[in-house]
A = this chain, B = another copy of it.
Amino acid sequence: MDTIHTKASCRQASLAIRDTLDIVGGKWKLVLLMTLRNGKRRFRELSREAEISPRILSKELQELEQNGLVSRTVCDTRPVTVEYALTDYSETLDEVLDALAKWGAQHRRKIIL
């Protein structure tokens, strides 16, 4: 069934997309969330795996934490280590992450053929 896109519904959906992009927009946040799907990571592991500089990574993680998408746990090790993990709430983004990953793979196949 083709959805009817009225001016009002498109306007509302555009504003909702802006809201989402305010929270997880930019180059890194969605990549970080996908990387953390494989399990909790320490800061340096994340920086290496997602190929993000420590300075940018710490800002992105802080914002993800503030929005309840990532948890930060200080481990009583010597030296102290900090672990980052996905929160239950971040699972509400599964559909977004899967749709973005699916399209990216599809688009790459299209432009390579």
Chain A interface residues toward B at CB < 8 A: 5-7, 9-21, 23, 25-27, 30-31, 34-35, 37-39, 49-50, 92-93, 95-108
The 4 closest A-B pairs by CB, nearest first: A16-B104, A19-B104, A20-B104, A13-B101
Say which residue of B49, B93, B104, B105 sits within 8 Å of A103 (CB atoms). B93
Known: A10-B38, A92-B107. 19 other contacts (CB 8 A): A5-B38, A6-B38, A10-B34, A10-B35, A14-B31, A14-B35, A14-B101, A16-B102, A16-B103, A16-B104, A16-B105, A17-B30, A17-B100, A17-B104, A20-B107, A25-B26, A95-B102, A96-B103, A98-B99
The reply to whether A38 and B7 contact each other, CB–CB distance below 8 Å, is yes
Count of identical protomers in the assembly: 2
The reply to whether B19 and A107 contact each other, CB–CB distance below 8 Å, is yes
Q: Among A10, A11, A14, find the residue whose CB has the most chain B CB atoms closer than 10 A.
A: A14
